[in-house]
Structure 1
Amino acid sequence: MTQVQIIDSNGIADQLDKGAYILDIRDINSYNASHIQGSQHIDNASIHPFLADADMDKAVVVCCYRGISSMQAAEVFIQQGFDEVYSLQGGFNEFCTTQPQLCT
C-alpha cells in the first residue's frame, strides 16, 4: 500500500510545475487571507466533488497550519486511490517563512 510522503517547502515548486494538486485544509478565512500560489482550499464539504473530478494520476500535496493535520488528511487521499500523496512538512506557516514568493 502507498504511504504518505513528507515534502519540504523546497519541493512544492517542483510539484506545482508537474501539475500536482496542492490542497489547503486550513479554515477558509485563513486560506482567503493567504495561501500557496496554485493551491485550492478543500474541506469536508468540497472533498467529494474534488474526488469525482480529480485526475488520480496526479500527485497530491496536503497543507495545513503546521504539518500535523495534513498527515491525517493525506491518508484519506491514499484510501481514495491516489498513489503519490505528500504532507507538507512544517505546514503553511513554515512554508511562507521559507518560500514567501510563493505565498499570496
Structure 2
Amino acid sequence: MHKYLDDNLFPDELNPDYSKADTNDIYKLIHLLCLPEMKIFMDTTRLLAKHTNDLVGEICNYIKHGKLLQTAVLLLAAQEHIRGSKRNGNSKEDGFGDIIKYISEHTSSIKLDVGIKN
C-alpha cells in the first residue's frame, strides 16, 4: 500500500518547485485512500488496528516521528476503533481527544517532513 500511495500521491517530487506541504496533497491522499482499489488494504489496516493494544500511542508515535502518511492511513482506517463508544455498556474514552492533547503538548518536538520552496 505504501508504494502505491508514494507513486500516486507525490508524482512530482523531482520537480524543483515541488513542496510536500501543498494542501492539494491532503485532498489527494484522502481521495486515494477512499478508492475501491484501497479497500483490501484499508480493511487489513482496520483489522490490525483492532488487535493493537495501544493504538492511540502508536498514532502519537507516528506523529512524533513525522510519519504523516502512516498517521493518515491509521486515522482513516481505524476511526471507529479510536473514537469512544458508549453503546452496549462500553465506556471507552475518545482517543481523538488524547491525540489532540498529545499534539498540543508536543508541538515543538514533532518532526514534520515538509519541503520548503526556495
Q: When the two structures are superposed, what TM-score results if normalisation uses the length of structure 2?
A: 0.25
Structure with more of its chain in helix, by fraction: 2
Which structure exhibits the higher relative contact order, with contacts defined as CA atoms closer than 8 Å and separated by 6 or more residues?
1
Higher Rg of the two aligned structures:
2
Q: Which has the higher strand share?
A: 1
